[in-house]
Amino acid sequence: MEILWQEIVTAAENEGRTYLLEHECKKILEEQGLATTGTAVARSTKEAVEISERIGYPVVLKILSPEVIHKSDAGGVKLNLNNSTAVERAYSEIFETFSDKKTAGVSVQKMAPPGLEAIVGIKKDPAFGPVLMFGLGGIFVEALQDVSFRILPVNEKDIGEMIREIRGYALLRGFRGTAVDLPALKKLLGKLSALIMRHPEISEMDLNPVFLYPRGNIIADARIFLEKPGKAEKEKGLPSGDKDYLQKLFYPQSIAVLGASNTPGKLGWNVFNNLLSHRFAGKLYPVNIRAEAVQGIPAVSSVSEIKDPVDAAIILVPAEATLQAFEECCRQGIKNIVIESAGFAEAGADGEAIQRKLKRVAEENDCRFLGPNCSGIINTHHNMVQSIGIVESLRRGNIGLIAQAGVYAAGMLWGMRHITDFGIVATIGNKADINETDILEYLGEDKNIEVVCLYLEDVKSGRRFIDVARAVTDKKPVIILKSGRTEAGKKAVSSHTASLAGDDLIYDAAFRQAGVIRARNNDHMFGLARAFSKQPLPQGAGVLVISYTGSLGVAAADALSLHDMRPAELDDKTFRQLREIVPPYVGCNNPVDFTFDMNAELVQKTIEIGLRSEKISSFILILQAEILDTYTEALSAMDFKGKPALACVPCREFAMNEVIPLEQAGIPVYSTPEEAVETLATMYRYRTQTQGTQGDGSFVQ
């Protein structure tokens, strides 16, 4: 295989080609054990007829020219030729059409039998590297764009999922008595993955069409584009053998703050004040060249004056002074540095040059740094708040948040802290060194963190990100909000943190491949986080809906069905018990509709009945906003025995004084039944994907 590959690639290079001709592509694919329609090269009408009669009619003729890539569009393909006269005419027409082109002859090949047409391709993505594409051909790909993607390399699970994802999967599985050979299709995709991983110089591959049959498949046309293999930048993770490398960044015992200030309103004042007001228990070293003390703490004019070891440093000086401050920290032996200053790659070429120098100095001194252009780290389990915005009191929580924007560590946190409890918030800014993957890997091991959220504008170390995320999602849910989905969004991203947003379809596939949950917007991400962080995972798909209005109960039932869950069946015992408390003028069904007679006592009794039923795995509670305060005490005192409960309060935003105590009691509250159900269904889907189910919800050990 390698000898053939080298011969073909060398021939292309000698001719100045960056792509392989069809007959060359098919030789390579056939060496892989893949079936093609084959090809023989004819350089005259006579040769074309002789080849056609040898392989048997009908045949196909195609132009072979290093100057013609898109053969069909240019009129260089003649199909379904059934005799020598048709072959002679087609050959003449091809050479007349391309008389001004350099040609290597005409490819003569057997016409493939009719089958289900598919397209398979490879493309290089700037964030994730080689990506495998699969879809149905013809109108399915041209009009409907019915394709799926996976980042290479892929395993059997990845291949199976990408085949099932396309909307035309029913045609593959079997429609009106005709199915395709799925094992052969999976084998084809697996062999292509292996080929690309062996030859990174392949920048693009297009197999179109591939005909799928009840037995086997055949590649009718193929194109391969080449690039010189570059020196791939090594995806730097945490230093091997030192699992605690970032421990001192997130749990430091001492912090030096370069640029700490006595002037209220300055960023140096805000950061240092946050550390003091949240009672950081470690040692603080304010660094200020003019002040003897900062906010009552003795100051030094340079980090070189600090005699004791320092676990971490925060730099808040102007961009032009940052490099000198950074070098001083490195010389002092400080290995973890947070650069909250702005004015680097996001600001233009001069700032980008400084950012590159920071990276070089860090590598020379074996240091790691967060930022620049970030808002530091918040760790409620360590009483550490480094935010550049003033942050009021926080409760300790179990949510980890990695954000590429500093607003998450100040402005948004101001409101979210009332109903969402964070353990760690890490802002990464331009992520010139430490990136989202490093921190995700760390939070995956932090016992204080049970749910991880990420706001990202791009992913820097794509393949490593997928591997790390896969490992973390086996232990705890990972929820991602990725911006830059549209062209307008991509432009805004580039101007904000100098990020290059990739193809959103590729990101979508990468997230699915990694097992993470993708959020549509901030409300969706934090709505999911609240449920995952406060409630156990559903053990089954059966849900008891309790409502004060029939219309919202029906909406909940519809949503359950749309999300592959269902209103739980009421066994005879459960039905009889509910019948005793349901008003006589309404039916006793699921959803349980109490109308406006519903109160906290009835809801409590209904939940207690549901807890005794094996068919009921979770609860959706649709509660009246006007008497919401009456539910908080009853629900917060209940033992739900491992069954999750999510609430819906219509017009929730107008009843936040009552919603907040219920949220703080551990019951997440949503504005619509559809939101609550979608969140519950996401929790159930995560459980089935990571833990598996047996029957209606028992764990598979």
What is the DSSP secondary structure assignment for residue 35, as one 8-state letter?
-
Sequence-ordered strand ranges (E) for 428-560? 451-456, 478-482, 517-519, 542-547
Torsion, Cα 420 426 430 435, to 10 degrees, reads -120
> Is the domain of 218 the same as that of 128?
yes
Regarding whether 566 and 489 lie in a shared domain, the answer is no
Lowest mean pLDDT among 192-206, 224-238, 283-297, 378-392: 224-238
Residue 241: pLDDT over 60: no
- The per-residue pLDDT for 487 is 62
Same domain, 328 and 186: no
What distance in Å separates the CA atoms of residue 615 and residue 573, rounded to the nearest whole number?
Answer: 12
Q: Do residue 193 and residue 258 come from a single domain?
A: no
For 621, residues 6+ apart whose C-beta sits below 8 A from its C-beta are 546, 603, 631, 635, 645, 646, 647, 648, 667
**Out of 28-37, 334-343, 485-494, 510-519, least confident range:** 485-494
Residue where a domain stops, chosen among 478, 496, 531? 531
Question: What confidence score (pLDDT) does residue 485 get?
Answer: 67
Q: Has residue 27 been placed in a domain?
A: no
Residue 77 phi/psi, 5-degree rounding, is -130, 130
Read off the pLDDT of each residue in 240-266 and give the average, rounded to a whole number. Answer: 87
The mean per-residue pLDDT over the stretch 15-40 comes to 92
Asked, for residue 370, whether it belongs to a domain, the answer is: yes
Residue in the block written with tokens 């060359």: 24
Query: Does 488 share its domain with 527?
Result: yes
Picking from 105, 166, 156, the residue whose alpha carbon sits closest to that of residue 135 is: 166
Give the model's confidence band at 494: pLDDT under 50 very low, under 70 low, under 90 confident, else very high: very low
Residue 231, CA distances (Å) to 123, 152, 195, 228, 235 in order: 18, 18, 19, 10, 12
User: Quick one: average pLDDT of 421-434?
Assistant: 96
> For position 574, what pLDDT does the model report?
96
Residue 142 pLDDT level (bands cut at 50, 70, 90)? low
Q: Is 29 within a domain?
A: no
SS3 45: helix
Residue 661, both tokens: 């105590």
Number of independent structural domains in the chain: 4
CA 417, CA 222: separation in Å to the nearest integer?
Answer: 56
Q: What is the CATH number of the domain that holds 94?
A: 3.30.1490.20
- The answer to whether residues 515 and 551 belong to one domain is no
Q: Which residues, 6 or more positions from 266, have their beta carbon under 8 angstroms from its beta carbon? A: none
pLDDT at 46: 94
Nearest to 567 by CA among 536, 598, 610, 625: 610
Residue 19 lies in a domain: no
Band of residue 498 on the pLDDT scale cut at 50, 70, 90: very low
Phi-psi region of 62 (alpha: psi -120 to 50; beta: other; left: phi over 0): beta
Q: Are strands 377-379 and 384-385 parallel, antiparallel or unpaired?
A: antiparallel
- List Cβ neighbours of 554 (8 Å cut-off, separation of 6 or more): 591
Q: Which residue has the higher pLDDT, 372 or 586?
A: 372
Q: Which residues of 602-628 are buried (b: 16+ CB within 10 A; e: fewer)?
A: bbeebbebbbebebbbbbbbbbbbeeb
Whole-number pLDDT of residue 185: 97
Rounded to a whole number, what is the largest CA-CA distance in the chain? 99
Q: Same domain, yes or no, for 526 and 671? A: no
Do 419 and 270 lie in one domain? The reply is: yes
Q: What CATH number is given to the structural domain containing 376?
A: 3.40.50.261
Task: Name residues whose C-beta falls within 8 Å of residue 3's C-beta, 6 or more positions apart in sequence.
Answer: none
Place 230 in a pLDDT band, splitting at 50, 70 and 90: low
Beta bridge partners of 622: 648
- The confidence band for 502, taking pLDDT boundaries of 50, 70 and 90, is very low
**Residue 54 pLDDT grade (very low, low, confident, very high; cuts 50, 70, 90):** very high
Span 370-378, average pLDDT: 96
Share of the chain above pLDDT 90, in %: 79
Domain end (from 531, 553, 573): 531
Instruction: Examine the pLDDT at 229 and tell me if it is beyond 70.
Output: no
Residue 24, domain member (yes or no) = no
Q: Are residues 357 and 502 in the same domain?
A: yes
Banded model confidence at residue 691, pLDDT cuts 50, 70, 90: confident
- Residue 504 in tokens: 């959103």
Which pTM does this prediction carry? 0.90
Residue 698 confidence (pLDDT) above 80: no
Confidence bin at 237 (pLDDT 50/70/90) = very low
For residue 319, the surrounding DSSP H or E stretch is helix 319-331
Q: What is the DSSP letter of 180?
A: -
Q: Return the higher-pLDDT residue of 14 and 448.
A: 448
E-only strand ranges, 395-482: 399-403, 422-427, 451-456, 478-482
DSSP state, residue 234: P
Mean pLDDT throughout 60-88? 88
Q: Are 283 and 406 in contact (CB under 8 A)?
A: no
Give the structural domain span for 49: 38-111
Task: Judge if 525 and 551 occupy the same domain.
Answer: no
Regarding whether 559 and 415 lie in a shared domain, the answer is no
Residue 286 lies in a domain: yes
Concatenating the DSSP letter of every residue in 556-614 gives: HHHHHHHTT-EEPP--HHHHHHHHTTS-TTS---SSEE-GGG--HHHHHHHHHHHHT-T
Instruction: Based on the fold, state whether residues 544 and 625 are members of the same structural domain.
Output: yes
Instruction: State pLDDT tens for residues 592-602.
Output: 999 989 999 99
Residue 33 lies in a domain: no
Residue whose C-alpha is closest to residue 532's, from 481, 475, 581: 475
Residue ending a domain, among 515, 531, 547, is 531
| Per-residue H/E/C for 199-214 | CCCEEEEEEEEEEECC
The pLDDT of 392-404, averaged and rounded, is 95
pLDDT at 602: 96
Nearest to 62 by CA among 27, 92, 97, 106: 106
Query: Within a 10 A sphere around the Cβ of 208, how many other Cβ atoms?
Result: 19
In this structure, is residue 4 part of a structural domain? no
> How would residue 460 be classed by pLDDT, with cut points 50, 70 and 90?
confident
Give the number of C-alpha atoms closer than 13 A to the C-alpha of residue 36, restricted to the C-beta side: 23
Q: Are 649 and 677 in contact (CB under 8 A)?
A: no
**Mean of the per-residue pLDDT values of the chain:** 91
Span 144-166, pLDDT tens digits:
778 999 999 999 999 999 999 99
Adjacency order of strands within the sheet including 517-519: 384-385, 377-379, 422-427, 399-403, 451-456, 478-482, 517-519
Q: Rounded to an integer, what distance in angstroms lies between the CA atom of residue 303 and that of residue 11?
A: 61
pLDDT digits (tens, 9 = 90+) for 540-593: 999 999 999 999 999 999 999 999 999 999 999 999 999 999 988 888 999 999
**pLDDT value of residue 1:** 63
